[in-house]
Structure 1
Amino acid sequence: MKLRYYILTSAIVLSMFGCEKELVKEPQQDLTDEAVFESPTTALGAVRGIYSTAQTFDFYGGLPQVIGDYMGNNVDFVGTFPTLQELNNFSGVSTNSNVSGIWQLHYQVITRANKVIARINDVPGLGAEEKAQYTAEAKFLRALSYFQVCNLFAQPYQVSSGSNLAVPLVLADFTGTIEYPSRSTLNQIHAQIISDLNDAAAVLPVQYGDAKQTRGRATKGAAYALLSRLYLYREEWAKAETAARNTLSQGIYDLAADYSFYSGNTNEDVFTIQNSAIDNGRTGNGGWAAYYNPAALGGRGDAPFSDDLVSAFTSEANDKRYAAKVTGTATDGLPHLFTTKFPDAVNNSDNSPVIRTTEVYLNLAEALAHENATPSAEAITILNTRIRARAGLAPKAANSQQALIDALLIERRKELAFEGHSRMDLLRNRLPLRNGNPAAAFGGAKTILPIPQREIDNNPGLQGQQNSGY
């Protein structure tokens, strides 16, 4: 990891206070550690600053999720950005600027979380309960960052049972000694994620005083839900089941009655990054909505439905999720189909969906399906009465374990389309990212991103550790 990440963290740059702008009164370009952790108010600002960093375009503001879709089979690439086109074509290079930005932002979240974890107990006047909660929130966000950066830069668990290299594991606060960490294995990173999420779940509240915080701030249910996803990716079915049940047992999560819940902070939301017209993660190229909306609605129209996804939806008539689409002109000047999940391409105020209740039910059902050689009655009930019924589809029979798993994966694809899941759902099931393309095969070198070249150039610990094929 480059020295600059440590510098950014040790200075606690002003962007950490994206949610507390009025707190920043000093004229300097940044605040010292002492200034940040000198009072309960500024300490809370540091915690909120981690969320603000996670809001950015390169973290959960849309870019990693769009890249996942470009590498998968849910959207077509009709855009004009060559750095994204090469990833779509599995011809990426280690100097790709989008890849470099994604790496940097994930480590900014990690190092800012490390700073809070290391320093929060020294804040004068901050109560023990607040210290524990702020630490837990930082650990949740650190876990989310490590999970996502591993999914992007490391082969999935299924390739070599997690013994493959992932990313550098950095947990200590930077205090002046420069270190150059090498890549840890996927199993080592996953173990840290599990530790962080278990620590967080033990401390975090079930909910906060208002819906926006309950859905947009780390909670006990959110920590368990992310654990359920991680265990699902690792094929630890019993643990995935337990974690999903722990989420649902919190009593504040349920499926929405229809598909109008996006950005609503309802019981459908387990953890959602909050955006507004004046506080969002957009850049000059916009966020989620810019890619997933046609030009007539203010978007670029770069990521329309693929024919493969259209076929999945139209295999059964009257799917309400497919009905929630629009036709518009894409970047190529031709009409295409687009999702309506992110309608605000003008102000980018749409929330970023990280974990939904529907995913937790799908995690639970898939875990149950794998655990039972005979089709699980509970999993079938989830499939039909919760997922398919809301979509307006008739119950589906599942006469074997594999038939049930296949049915759940189809519903997962349709339900969570355009939310950043499809690429990893293909890879963890040992499937190609795109049929008919040898470069997209499971385990293919360029189904994952390269370690940015400037990281290797500046970190001796990473030299010789580039991903295969780059």
Structure 2
Amino acid sequence: MKNLKTILFIGLLGSLFSCEDLDIDPQQSLSTELAFADKQSVEGSLLGVYSLTQEWEVFGSLPQVIADFQADNVRFIGSFPTLQEIGIYTTQADNVTVRDLWRAHYRAILAANAVVAFTPDSPDEALTTEERNQYVAEAKFMRSLLMFQLVNLFGQPVNVAGEDALGIPIVTDAFSGEIVDFPRNTVGEVHEFIINELNAIVADLPDTYATSAFTRGRATKGAANALLSRIHLYRGEWQLAADKAKAVLDAEAIYGLAGNYSFWGENNSEYVFSIQNSEIDNGRTGSGGWGSYYNSAEDGGRGDAPFSNALIEAYATNDMRITALSKENVNGEGVSLLYTTKFPDVVTHSDNSPIIRTTEIVLNRAEALAQLNGVNDESLALINDLRDRAGLEGLSAGNFASKEAFIAQILEERRKELAFEGHRRMDLLRNNLPLRPESDTYFDASKPGEDRTILPIPQRELDINTGLVQNPGFE
């Protein structure tokens, strides 16, 4: 057994799954000897990793709203100064929101590292080799998901700045009690690490779990392949993106397009991976869950992020993606604003966070095949499935004069399907498109490769970690 060390372990207190499910007492911190002493404790440590990702700064909405505030789907009208900075491309290195986001991600990464490091050596003989391998694989999936989200926020996309662009530190060791200076790895190195990790763990992950909440809220083969599809798409590795998407979509008994947009908040085939929230989690999200930002003040939200005019105009008048998933409100100044209703719970924040949906995987495959083959029957069929669900007529090859026009249409379908889920920023940047339209005040600052299209390394981290260097433009 390793030397006695202390790890951060947010037990099951307000966690992803209720204490009763596993009959485990909530705990705040445990020594590694106790945290991995038996099967029950190992499971608790693993679920503690999932629990940490519920935080506002991780998957509790902050990274997602940052992506939306920088792009063109919403009008940011909030009052948070630190978010205002990000939304108008004036972010400073001492921005406390960025600092907290960085710390919360690495807190969860370190918790995952502990599961990876100590689970194999747990003395409990009741833990089978298969179970140990699965728990380690789950922790590695979560670590990969966290690192990918971080590198997208703090590093320039590979299509913009190349493989050698500064990324984030790859940290795989459990916390030893000592402060270690970790240098930044390149974006290419971070991607390579994540891709290798995910490919290695797929075999150790289950297809499903005993409950729907676990199947949609814990790492599975489908979730790992889905994340690989997203990474390869972002890297322009079209065949790999298409293949990994197909691996998910072929599991038709598990994943599929849910009908008529009634699937929000429920565990069903639409969700490949989601953060499972419940009413007992109220307060875990800090400044509020996804619904807090995206709902109007009249409905109990902050009212920070109504539809932009450009997004409204992107939808046809009879498109159910707007007619069934939006609500008009008039603010105190008499201005009519449109808000999404994807995340209606602004009281207890019990809406599950949609990290990966089947819809995204359909769009991933459609786009990747279009990049490979131009206008093609399978891509058309895939986007027409989405349009049919939205109550729209299908498209045919005759609607497109070129490969480029077809890809642009797929990106528009992606915009409308995944609005308010944090995808738009990277979808624009990875296609070398500015985050704002030319008519926008911040158009020049929003162009791919501009310094403040990414976040600065927090000044506090630079002060305590001499191995870090700042992003260009923030020195």
Aligned partner of 1:81 in structure 2 is 80
Query: 1:113 maps to what in 2?
Result: 112
User: Alignment length, in residue pairs?
Assistant: 455
Partner amino acid, structure 2, of 1:442: P
- Aligned mate of 1:440, from 439, 446, 450: 446
Counterpart check, 1:388 vs 2:394:
no
Amino acid at match of 2:34: A
Alpha-carbon shift at residue 25 of structure 1 (Å): 7.5
* In 1, Cα distance between equivalents of 2:41 and 2:332: 44
Q: Which amino acid aligns with 2:60?
A: G
Could you state the TM-score of these two structures normalised by the residue count of structure 2?
Answer: 0.92
Say if 2:55 and 2:286, in contact at 8 Å, map to a contact too: no
The answer to whether the aligner puts 1:460 opposite 2:455 as a matched pair is: no
Task: Please list the CA deviations of residues 417-442 of structure 1 after superposition, one character each: whole Å capped at 9, or x if unmatched.
Answer: 00010110010011101123211111
Equivalent in the alignment of 1:190: 191
Give per-residue Cα distances to partners, 1:170-222, cap 9 Å, x unaligned.
11223355420110000100011111211221110110111111111110000
SS of the aligned residue for 1:52 comes to: helix
1:60-139 to 2 correspondences below 5 Å: 60-125=59-124, 126-139=127-140
Name the counterpart of 2:350: 349
Aligned pairs for 1:13-412 (under 5 A) are 13-18=8-13, 19=15, 23-24=24-25, 30-125=29-124, 126-251=127-252, 252-279=254-281, 282-313=284-315, 316-324=316-324, 325-330=326-331, 334-373=335-374, 375-384=375-384, 386-396=385-395, 397-412=399-414
Q: Which whole-Å CA distance do the structure 2 matches of 1:25 and 1:344 have between them?
A: 25
Residues 100-121 of structure 1 show CA distances to partners (whole Å, capped at 9, x for unaligned) of 0110111111111111001001
Q: Identity over the aligned pairs, expressed in percent?
A: 48
**Ranges in structure 2 where 5+ consecutive residues have no aligned partner:** none
Deviation at 1:467, TM superposition (A): 3.7
TM-score of the pair, normalised by structure 1: 0.93
Aligned residues of 2:9 and 2:111 also touching (Cα < 8 A) = no
Post-superposition CA distance 1:301-336 (Å, at most 9, x none): 0100011111111xx331011102101245877431
Partner Cα separation in structure 2 for residue 172 and residue 25 of structure 1: 25
What is the Cα deviation at residue 370 of structure 1?
A: 0.3
C-alpha root-mean-square deviation of aligned residues, in Å?
Answer: 1.8
State how far apart, in whole Å, the 1-side matches of 2:474 and 2:247 are: 41
Judged with a 3 Å threshold, the aligned counterparts in structure 2 of structure 1 residues 145 and 333 are, in CA distance, closer, same or farther, namely: farther
The equivalent of 1:3 in structure 2 is none
1:337 alignment partner, SS class? strand
Partner of 2:6: 11
User: In 1, Cα distance between the equivalents of 2:377 and 2:426?
Assistant: 26
Return the offset for 1:460: 0.6
Evaluate the alpha carbon distance shift between residue 194 and residue 116 of structure 1 in structure 2; reply closer, same or farther with a 3 A threshold: same
- Taking the aligned partners of 1:421 and 1:298, their CA distance within structure 2 comes to 25
Give the whole-Å Cα distance in 2 for the aligned partners of 1:400 and 1:59.
Answer: 40
For the 8 Å contact 2:225–2:247, the answer to whether it is kept is yes
Q: Structure 1 residues 284 and 242 mapped into 2: Cα distance closer, same or farther (>3 Å)?
A: closer
TM-fit CA distance, 1:399: 3.9
- Residues 305 and 337 in structure 1, CA contact (< 8 A), matched pair in contact too: yes
Matched to 1:266, the amino acid is N
DSSP-derived class of the 2:173 partner: coil
Q: Please list the CA deviations of residues 116-159 of structure 1 after superposition, one character each: whole Å capped at 9, or x if unmatched.
A: 00100111221111101001100100000000000100111111
Q: Residues 294 and 273 of structure 1: is their aligned pair in 2 closer, same or farther, counting only changes over 3 Å?
A: same
* Distance in 2 between residues matched to 1:330 and 1:289, nearest whole Å: 17
> Which residue identity is paired with 2:377?
A
Change in CA separation of 1:25 and 1:340 when aligned onto 2, cut-off 3 Å = closer
Distance in structure 2 (CA, Å) of the matches to 1:329 and 1:79: 16
**Pair 448,265 (structure 1): closer, same or farther in 2 beyond 3 Å:** same
Q: Distance in 2 between matches of 1:107 and 1:209?
A: 30
Alignment CA distance shift 1:469-1:354 (3 Å): same
Asked if structure 1 preserves the Cα contact closer than 8 Å seen for 2:166 and 2:471, the reply is no
In structure 1, list runs of 5 or more residues that go unmatched: 1-8
Q: Which amino acid aligns with 2:110?
A: T
Secondary structure of residue in 2 paired with 1:297:
coil
